[in-house]
C-alpha cells in the first residue's frame, strides 16, 4: 500500500498535467487490438497537447473477489438467446468489479509507436512447385547467417548449456534450452534439438532417408528430458516450424501446457506426424505436400509467394 | 438483429425461470480462471434451485466503438504510479462500455463440469487401428446429445443468427457465429459451419467422396465471410478439431490474428490441408493416418487409448 500523502501528491501532479483526464482525448489510430488478451494500444493526443501519447488498456483478469462481487444482484443480465440448456447473456456490472488497467506513455516517440503497432499476418499455401520455383531461390539468395548454429554444434559457444548430445555426424544432434526458457520450472519447459547434419534446411527436404535421424531425435530427446526434468513423453509437444526462423533443421520441445507462440496449426508440425507421413503415407510426402505458410505483412517472402513468377 | 417482441418474450421466460437473476447465486467452485483470456467458469446453484449450473464469464474484447466511448470523460482514471514517461492507472468506466459475456448452462451434467474444469492434458497418438477398435466403439456407446445441432439445422433455434446457408442435404451447411464471438469486431471473428449431412462424425470419416462438401464449405464459407465482414481468405484460419467436442462434422472459421484456444498443432487441422491430403496425397489419408489426440486427464477416452485391448 502507498502512503496517502504520496497518492495525493501524484493526483495533484496528474491534474496539473491533465494526463489522466480523458475528456477531449483525440484518437489518431488504434495501433493494436488483441481480442484474446483483451488488450488495446491507442495512439492519440490529450486535449490541448501536441505530444503523441499511447494509451494501453487491458481488461483485468477475474479474481476470487471480483467473481464473488459480480455474481450478485450488483450485476444485470440481458438474455441474448437460449438454446436448450445453454443461455447466452450480456452482463453489466458495477465498474468497481470490472476495472481496466490503463498505461499512458507521454510523450511517445516514433519507436514506441512502432513497438506497439500491429503487423498483419497472412496465411498462404505453398505448393511443392511454389517451393522449388519461388521459396528455394529466395532462400538461396538470402545471406541469413547461421554461424551461431555452427558455433553451438562446434562447441565454440553455449557448450555449458548442452543438456544432451549424440555426436553422430549423420543422425546426431545437440539438445539445449531455448533462450525463451529460464529453466526454473517445467511448466514452460522449452528446449531445442539442433541436428549435426548441415544439409537439411527444413521439413521440405525430409524423406525416408531421414527416418533414422528423426526417430533418433524423438527417442533420445524425449528420454533426456524425462531423465533431467521428469516430464513424460505424452506431456511434451515436439515439433518443427514451417517456415522456420533459420534454415538448419531443428526441433522444438515444449511442455504441452505451455502456450508459447508458434504452436498453431499452419506453423507447427509435430515430429510424430512428420515421421508417420513419411513412413506410413508417402516417403516423398514433404516433396509433394501443399504446406501452409504464415507470413507477416513485411516479410519479403510474402510478395514472392503471392505473385505469379 | 432480433425483433423486439421476441426479445421481450425471452426476457419474460427468463424471469419466470429465474435463470438470469444472480441474486443469491451460490458459488460451489471456480472450475477454471484463465488470466490470459480473462475467462472464468464457475460451478454453482441459483437461489431456490437444486440443479447444478455453470456460469462462464468472459471479458469482452475492445471494439472500435467501445474504445471511443471509454476514452472520454465517461471514464475515471486513478493514478497507481508514474515512472518517467510511463503512468499506470486504474480505469472505471460506464458498464455499457465494458460488458461481460456470460453463458449459463443449466442444468449442467457431470460431463459439463468435467469439460469446464482445469485438468492436465496429454498428447497421445491414435492409429487407424486404435480408432476402429477403441475410439469408435467408445463413441458409439456415448449418449452425448447433439440435439442442439439438429435444432440449428432444422431452424428450430438460432435461425436469426444464421450468416449463410447452403440447404443442399449432401454438400450444404449452415454458417453461424460461434458462442464465443459477440460479433462486435472482426479481430476475434469466430464462426462455425455445420454440415447438413448427418453421418460424418469427424475428419476420420473423410475420403474423396467428401471433396465436393469440403470445397463447398471452404469456398462458400470464405465468400460469405468476405461479403458480410470484409475479412479476406488469407486472413482466416479455417479448421477442424480432432478429437472434436461433438461428433457431427463442423468447421471453425477464425480471424488469423485471434489466438483462440484449440488452434494448436495436434488439435486443429486446416481444411485446406485436409482437402490437399485427400486429393493429392492419398484418398484414404484419414482412414490410414496416425492422428495426434490431446486429451484431458479425466477424459474417459484417455485410459481406453492408453491401455491395450
Give which of B285, B258, B253, B257 is closest to B270, Cα–Cα.
B253
Q: Under an 8 A CB cutoff, do A81 and B10 touch? A: yes
Distance CA B290, CA B298 (A): 23
Give A 150-189 residues with CB within 8 A of chain B: none
pLDDT band, very low/low/confident/very high, at B20 (cuts 50, 70, 90): low
* Average pLDDT of chain B to the nearest whole number: 89
The residues near A16 (Cβ < 8 Å, ≥ 6 apart) are none
Q: What does the pLDDT read at residue A9?
A: 37
- SS3 sequence of chain B: CCCHHHHHHHHHHHHHHCCCCCCCCEEEEEEEEECCCCEEEEEEECCCCCCCEEEEEEECCCCHHHHHHHCCCCCEEEEEEEECCEEEEEEECCHHHCCEEEEEECCCCHHHHHHCCCCCEEEEEECHHHHHHHHHHHHHHCCCCCHHHHHHHCCCCCHHHCCEEECCCCCCEEEEECCCCCCCCHHHCEEEEEECCCCCCCHHHCCHHHHHHHHHHHHHHHHHHHHHHCCCHHHEEEEEECCCCCCCCEEEEEECCCCCCCCECCCEEEHHHHHHHHHHHCCCHHHHCCEEEEEECCCCHHHHHHCCC
Distance CA B126, CA A270 (A): 14
Give A 18-37 residues with CB within 8 A of chain B: 19-23, 25, 27, 30, 33-37
Give me the mean pLDDT over the A276-281 stretch.
97
A112, A248, A250, A252: the catalytic one is A250
Picking from A168-172, A182-186, A252-256, B231-235, which range would have the lowest pLDDT averaged per residue? A182-186
Distance CA B162, CA B167 (A): 12
A210 among known catalytic residues: no
Distance to chain A for B284, nearest Cα, Å: 10
Q: pLDDT digit string (tens) for A36-51?
A: 889 999 999 999 999 9
Which chain B residue has its CA at the smallest distance from A27's CA? B68
Q: Under an 8 A CB cutoff, do A70 and B62 touch? A: no
pLDDT band, very low/low/confident/very high, at B114 (cuts 50, 70, 90): confident
* A90/B contact by beta carbon, under 8 A: yes
ipTM confidence score: 0.75
In chain A, % of residues over pLDDT 70: 94
Distance CA B105, CA B219 (A): 34
Chain B residues within 8 A of A82 when measuring between CB atoms: 10, 13-14, 157
Q: pLDDT digit string (tens) for B290-302?
A: 999 999 888 899 9
Which chain A residue has its CA at the smallest distance from B291's CA? A273
Whether residue B259 contacts residue B180, with contact meaning beta carbons closer than 8 Å, is answered with no
Could you identify the residue written with the cell 517451393?
A131
Chain B residues within 8 A of A129 when measuring between CB atoms: none
Give which of A94, A85, A92 is closest to B102, Cα–Cα.
A92
Give which of B133, B143, B141 is closest to B305, Cα–Cα.
B133
Counting Cα atoms < 13 Å in the Cβ hemisphere of B36 gives 7
Give me the mean pLDDT over the B127-146 stretch.
91
Whether residue B120 contacts residue B287, with contact meaning beta carbons closer than 8 Å, is answered with no
Chain B residues within 8 A of A272 when measuring between CB atoms: 125, 290, 292
Whether residue A152 contacts residue A158, with contact meaning beta carbons closer than 8 Å, is answered with yes
Q: What does the pLDDT read at residue B5?
A: 34
* B122/A contact by beta carbon, under 8 A: yes
Q: What does the pLDDT read at residue B249?
A: 98
- The answer to whether residue B9 scores a pLDDT higher than 70 is no
Q: Under an 8 A CB cutoff, do B101 and A124 touch? A: no
Chain A residues within 8 A of B4 when measuring between CB atoms: none
Chain A residues within 8 A of B269 when measuring between CB atoms: 265
CB atoms within 10 A of CB A277: 24
Query: Does an H or E element contain A166, and which?
Result: strand A164-166
Q: pLDDT digit string (tens) for A11-28?
A: 334 444 444 689 889 999
Distance to chain A for B177, nearest Cα, Å: 13
Output B55 or B144, whichever has higher pLDDT.
Answer: B55
Chain A residues within 8 A of B265 when measuring between CB atoms: 237, 239, 263-265, 267-270, 273
Q: pLDDT digit string (tens) for B196-239?
A: 999 999 999 999 999 999 999 999 999 999 999 999 999 999 99
* A8/B contact by beta carbon, under 8 A: no
Q: Which of A91, A234, A268 sits opposite B100 (nearest CB)?
A: A91
- The answer to whether residue B61 scores a pLDDT higher than 70 is yes
- The answer to whether residue B16 scores a pLDDT higher than 90 is no
The residues near A283 (Cβ < 8 Å, ≥ 6 apart) are A207, A208
Whether residue A97 contacts residue A86, with contact meaning beta carbons closer than 8 Å, is answered with no
Domains assigned to chain B: 1-60+100-108 (no CATH), 62-98 (no CATH), 119-306 (3.30.428.10)
Burial of B217 (0-12, 13-18, 19+ CB in 10 A): buried
Whether residue B67 contacts residue A42, with contact meaning beta carbons closer than 8 Å, is answered with yes
The model carries a pTM of 0.76
Could you identify the residue written with the cell 513485411?
A298
- The answer to whether residue B70 scores a pLDDT higher than 90 is yes
Could you identify the residue written with the cell 446457408?
B165
Q: Under an 8 A CB cutoff, do A94 and B95 touch? A: yes
Give me the mean pLDDT over the A241-258 stretch.
93
The residues near A279 (Cβ < 8 Å, ≥ 6 apart) are A208, A211
Peptide bond into B113 cis (omega under 30): no
* Average pLDDT of chain A to the nearest whole number: 89
Q: pLDDT digit string (tens) for A103-151?
A: 999 999 887 887 788 778 899 999 999 999 999 999 988 877 788 899 9
- The answer to whether residue A60 scores a pLDDT higher than 80 is yes
Query: Does an H or E element contain A223, and which?
Result: helix A211-229
pLDDT band, very low/low/confident/very high, at A4 (cuts 50, 70, 90): very low
- The answer to whether residue B194 scores a pLDDT higher than 90 is yes
Whether residue A172 contacts residue A216, with contact meaning beta carbons closer than 8 Å, is answered with yes
Whether residue A201 contacts residue A248, with contact meaning beta carbons closer than 8 Å, is answered with yes
* B91/A contact by beta carbon, under 8 A: yes
Give which of B107, B133, B148 is closest to B245, Cα–Cα.
B148
Which chain A residue has its CA at the smallest distance from B12's CA? A79
Output B141 or B205, whichever has higher pLDDT.
Answer: B205
Amino acid at each position: 500500500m502507498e502512503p496517502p500523502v504520496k497518492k495525493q501528491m501524484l493526483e495533484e501532479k496528474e491534474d496539473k498535467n491533465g494526463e489522466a483526464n480523458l475528456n477531449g482525448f483525440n484518437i489518431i489510430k488504434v495501433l493494436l487490438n488483441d481480442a484474446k488478451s483483451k488488450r488495446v494500444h491507442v495512439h492519440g493526443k490529450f486535449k490541448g497537447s501536441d505530444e503523441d501519447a499511447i494509451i494501453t488498456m487491458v481488461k483485468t483478469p477475474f479474481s476470487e473477489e471480483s467473481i464473488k462481487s459480480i455474481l450478485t444482484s450488483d450485476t444485470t443480465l440481458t438474455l441474448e438467446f437460449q438454446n436448450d440448456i445453454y443461455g447466452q447473456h450480456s452482463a453489466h456490472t458495477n465498474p468497481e468489479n470490472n476495472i481496466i488497467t490503463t498505461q499512458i506513455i507521454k510523450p511517445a516517440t516514433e519507436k514506441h509507436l512502432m513497438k506497439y503497432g500491429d503487423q498483419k499476418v497472412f496465411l498462404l499455401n505453398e505448393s511443392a512447385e511454389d517451393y522449388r520455383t519461388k521459396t528455394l531461390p529466395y532462400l538461396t539468395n538470402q545471406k541469413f547467417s547461421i554461424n551461431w548454429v555452427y558455433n553451438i554444434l562446434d562447441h565454440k559457444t553455449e557448450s555449458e548449456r548442452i543438456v544432451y548430445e549424440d555426436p553422430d555426424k549423420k543422425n546426431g544432434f545437440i539438445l539445449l534450452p531455448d533462450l525463451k526458457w529460464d529453466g526454473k520450472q517445467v511448466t514452460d519447459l522449452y528446449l531445442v534439438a539442433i541436428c549435426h547434419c548441415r544439409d537439411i534446411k527444413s521439413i521440405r527436404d525430409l524423406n525416408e532417408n531421414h527416418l533414422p535421424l528423426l526417430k533418433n531425435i524423438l527417442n533420445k530427446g524425449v528420454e533426456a528430458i524425462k531423465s533431467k526434468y521428469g516430464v513424460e513423453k505424452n506431456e511434451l509437444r515436439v515439433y518443427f516450424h514451417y517456415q522456420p526462423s533459420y534454415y538448419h533443421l531443428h526441433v522444438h520441445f515444449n511442455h504441452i501446457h505451455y502456450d508459447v507462440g508458434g504452436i498453431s496449426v499452419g506453423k507447427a508440425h509435430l515430429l510424430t506426424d512428420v515421421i508417420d507421413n513419411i513412413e506410413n503415407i508417402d516417403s516423398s510426402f514433404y516433396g509433394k505436400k501443399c504446406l501452409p505458410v504464415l507470413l507477416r505483412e513485411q516479410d519479403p517472402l510474402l510478395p514472392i509467394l503471392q505473385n505469379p513468377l
